[in-house]
Amino acid sequence: MQVTPFCLKVGDLLSYSMSDSNTTDFSSPSTFILLGIPGLEAAHVWISIPFCVMYTVTLLGNFTILLIVKTEQRLHEPMYYFLCMLAVTDLLLSTSTVPKMLSIFWFNSREIDFSLCLTQLYFIHCCITMESGIVVAMALDRYVAICDPLRHSTTLTNRFVAKIGLVVVLRGSILSLPYPFLARQWPYCRTNIISHTYCEHIAVVKLACADIRISSYYGLSVAFLVIGLDVSFITVSYIQILRAIFSLPTKDARLKTFGTCGSHLGVILAFYIPALFSFLTHRFGHNVPPHFHILMANMYILLPSMLNPIIYGVRTKQVRDRLIWHVTHIE
């Protein structure tokens, strides 16, 4: 059985993979080997510095948002409940990928158990689908608050918000289940080396020596149907929101009302732009260098999770004021 490495610069990894091939059953592999970013092995330590900083900011920012919303009674409103859901999802997404990523860069710890790899794959897709659903829920909140403000408190009750949260979690959990189950059923007879920093779905199933069109078609269907429907709903909501804003009588009223949507618009851009770029380069960017695609895939995981609490912390007066209060009292 021959193990074919992808552009390995580190010779000892090649030796390890070839020696391990005698004991590894690729029809049911016990471990995979994550290469990190092939072609940039010499820069792994330097690349890890901004990744580590971004992960640290993600942890501090999202935990701070959760603490502020929990302790500030005035923030017990639908928008901030959705923000807490977003913070928890960002924490799950980044924590399921970044620690292993950093261990590759710092300690050359490239092995990952096959079951753990599929679990990571599941959590990535689950969190991404959930995050998209939460962004839609936040768009609904802004739509009702601006287009029908008198009914906002009676429409978006705590019970209704909890139901939305449950639907978002169930949708993400159920739609993501086929990814690991399909990946587990394929026979793996080529190699156990993944040219990536984490167990990305297509990067894993491409190692199978079988017809993986079911996995590929399912991934495309979820991307187009779920994300496409979510983006369509957000677009329609904001068309109605903008119509309501431009119908206001004064410029100050229009600016003030539009300002309440600024944070949410920032979250939308931070989430969907890297996702769209990563998706398009992976599916159609055949001339894009592999290391560039992998870097963009990492940014897709890290950037929104880091920016979301910063955007809301800077743009939302209640969160900003409470954060300043906490800082001044700590000092």
H or E element: which one contains 194?
Answer: strand 193-194
Map residue 32 onto helix, strand or coil.
strand
DSSP-derived letter for residue 186 is: S
Q: Summarize pLDDT for 193-241 with one digit per residue, the tens.
A: 998 999 988 889 988 888 888 998 998 888 888 888 999 999 999 899 8
Map residue 33 onto helix, strand or coil.
strand
Calpha distance 171→209 (Å, rounded): 31
Task: Label residue 312 by pLDDT band (50, 70, 90).
Answer: confident
Which tokens in the block code for residue 235? Answer: 């677009």
H or E element: which one contains 301?
Answer: helix 290-315
In what side-by-side order are the strands of the sheet with 193-194? 111-113, 31-34, 193-194
86-100, 118-132, 170-184, 253-267: least confidently modelled range: 253-267
H or E element: which one contains 111?
Answer: strand 111-113
Amino acid at 7: C
Q: Summarize pLDDT for 21-58 with one digit per residue, the tens.
A: 344 445 567 889 999 998 888 889 999 999 999 999 99
Calpha distance 188→204 (Å, rounded): 10
Q: Summarize pLDDT for 243-284 with one digit per residue, the tens.
A: 888 887 777 777 777 777 777 887 888 888 877 777 776 666
Q: Which of 213, 215, 208, 211 is nearest to 189 (CA)?
A: 208
Calpha distance 242→296 (Å, rounded): 32
pTM reported for the whole predicted model:
0.85
